[in-house]
Amino acid sequence: MENYVYSSPEMQEKIEAYLPRITEHRRDLLVKVVQNRTRHFCMVLEDLFDPHNISAVIRTAEVFGLEDVHVIEEVNPYKVNKSILKGSIKWMNIYLHKKRMACMEHLRKKGYRIAVASTNTNNSVLDLDLSQPTAFYLGSEFTGNHPDTLAAADCEFKLPQYGITESMNVSVAGGVLMCYLDHFMQQKGRQNFTLSPKERDELLLEWLERHLNDESASSSITRIGDE
């Protein structure tokens, strides 16, 4: 923690109270990972049918350092698939939304532009202005994103592809998309897209609490719009 700069003395006191209770390896790993976390991009999964696909995207998002994934379950409820997640959900924040339009409103209030995957556009993800905070929507395996979502989106995009097949598996598409996003951040300097010092400290404290209290995966899930 020698080179770690806390956002405030108060946060330093809270975090350092936990550190003697974890191994040096775990401490160094959490500190390294939290400093690379980003909310500049987030993934939004709209009414996916197969929980395997949702969990695969969540796991991939964790690997690429995206902290938040939003799941719209207006039609299909999400069921946690622990065998696919491999513990990744413990380090994520997952938001479950009952209504697609409420989800979009929530994201816009957070400052996100809405980019929706579509096979009916010529606009490549490479054509987007990725300097703007962007929420990337991936739709149902069978029907794609809902027409209301497409109509209300700020832009549509597709992934570059050169074969005859018009689409790829949604979890694979999510992984390919995140490769492009990661490449963009690397080119521009990932430090320009990571969490603010305050957000970073709050997340590190949250991770330490989850880890030490051995909380279940459900601790990382927030339901929005259940009323």
Q: What residues form the annotated binding site for S-adenosyl-L-methionine?
A: 159
CB 178 within 8 A of CB 66: yes
Rounded-to-5 percentages of helix, strand, coil across the chain = 45, 20, 35
Q: Tell me the binding residues.
A: 159
Residues facing residue 68 across a β-bridge: 93
Nearest to 70 by CA among 161, 138, 119, 172: 138
Instruction: Count Cβ atoms within 10 A of the Cβ of residue 31 and give its class: 0-12 exposed, 13-18 middle, 19 or more buried.
Output: middle
- The alpha carbons of the chain give a radius of gyration, in whole angstroms, of 18
| Alpha carbon distances (Å) from 55 to 13, 151, 167, 189, 210 | 35, 27, 20, 28, 19
